[in-house]
Structure 1
Amino acid sequence: MSYEVPRAAKLLVEVQSKYIGIGAGRTHKAGKRCKVQRNPSNPGEFVIWFGKTEIAKVQALDLTSTIEYTDGRPQY
């Protein structure tokens, strides 16, 4: 499976993130801008990127209630 380019989005609810390689993270409030990408190793999961080293994972069924795409492309 190939990697898709992350899409611009904003959060609709608070999300707890973690730093890659470290168990620590923080909470991001609704309205925060982010990038969203499907997890290539687990198609039923999406990865929300906050910068280059901070991520959160969300199940595909919960994606529409967690983020809203802002790049103008249709949401699938």
Structure 2
Amino acid sequence: MSYELPRAAKLKKEVESKYIGLNAGRTHKAGKKCKVQRSPAEPGLFIIWFGKTEIAKIPALQLTDTIEYLDGRPQL
């Protein structure tokens, strides 16, 4: 299965992120712009990217409550 490039989005609610390789992270407020893609390792999860080293993992069932796509394509 192939995976798309990350899509532009913004948060609808607060999300807790982690830095890749560290246990440290921070909270991002609603309205924050980000990129979203399906996890290649865990198909039931979506990865929300905040820059290149900070991510949050969201279950697929919670995705529509968490983010809103900004690229104009329909949500899948």
- TM-score relative to the length of structure 1: 0.97
1:15-51 Cα offsets, whole Å, 9 max, x none, are: 0000000100000000000000000111110000000
Offset at residue 2 of structure 1 (A): 2.9
Instruction: Give the aligned length.
Output: 76
Gaps of 5+ in 1: none
Distance in 2 of aligned mates of 1:74 and 1:14: 23
- State the one-letter code of the partner of 1:2: S
1:64 and 2:64 aligned:
yes
Distance in 2 of aligned mates of 1:52 and 1:4: 17
Distance in 2 of aligned mates of 1:3 and 1:75: 15
Q: Which residue of 2 aligns with 1:29?
A: 29
SS at 2:25's partner residue? Answer: coil
Gaps of 5+ in 2: none
- Percent identity over the alignment is 76
Which segments of structure 1 move beyond 6 Å, counting only runs of 4 or more?
Answer: none
- TM-score relative to the length of structure 2: 0.97
Offset at residue 4 of structure 1 (A): 1.5
